[in-house]
Amino acid sequence: MSTLTKQLKKISQLPETTQQISLAALLSSLFAKYDVLLTVVGGAAVQYYSDATYVTKDLDVILMGDTTEIIEETMHSLGFKRTTMYRHFEHPSLPFVVEFPPSPIEVGSRTISKVNILNMDDKSVRVIRVEDMIMDRIIAAVEWKDTPSLEQAKLLWLMNNDIIDVDYLKTFATEEGYSETLQEVMIITPVS
């Protein structure tokens, strides 16, 4: 059994709530060999920042760098198969798909470059900042009338307000035109 196969098997035996971020760390190390940066975004980032209070069935990762041919090669080396959706890959031992949305990382009209680095054992993975995820969910809630996105924004605020850069968040919301919705999110306070 190859090292990659062993690592993937280990990931598949983790609780489902930690499989995505663990796989992202493995993928990050593989793509780094090609000078390609991987960043976790979307529902998997919400899952990470909510300590799996919210659980998703996909892992969205954005790659920065020349990804021509290496996505297919890297995913196939782990036993993933492309689904009928061009950007999606699935593996028989994992209960979620991996999706590669196009780069760059964008929230509203902003291109996001500052991310958090999560260290896991001997690997690390980039994760979009919680402030940017809150804004991503607020924008989805308002523009797409998506109530679950607003609930996710509230959950992220509730579970992370002690570490959030509130000035950054308020400035972002003001510049994008979502101050009122942000205020609605920030009213939520932890239960003591």
Is the per-residue pLDDT at 189 higher than 80? no
Q: How far apart (Å, rounded) are the C-alpha atoms in residues 180 and 187?
A: 11
pTM: 0.95
Q: How far apart (Å, rounded) are the C-alpha atoms in residues 128 and 149?
A: 16
**Tens-digit pLDDT profile for residues 93-144:** 999 999 999 999 999 999 999 999 999 889 999 999 999 999 999 999 999 9
Q: For 40, left (φ over 0), alpha (ψ -120 to 50), or beta?
A: beta
**Tens-digit pLDDT profile for residues 27-42:** 999 999 999 999 999 9
Task: Choose among 119, 129, 144: nearest CA to 45.
Answer: 129
| CA-CA-CA-CA dihedral for 113, 118, 119, 122, to nearest 10 | -70
Contact, 96 vs 88, CB < 8 A? no
Contact, 101 vs 86, CB < 8 A? no
List the domain boundaries for the chain: 3-128, 130-186
**Percent of the chain having pLDDT more than 70?**
98
CATH of domain 3-128: 3.30.460.40
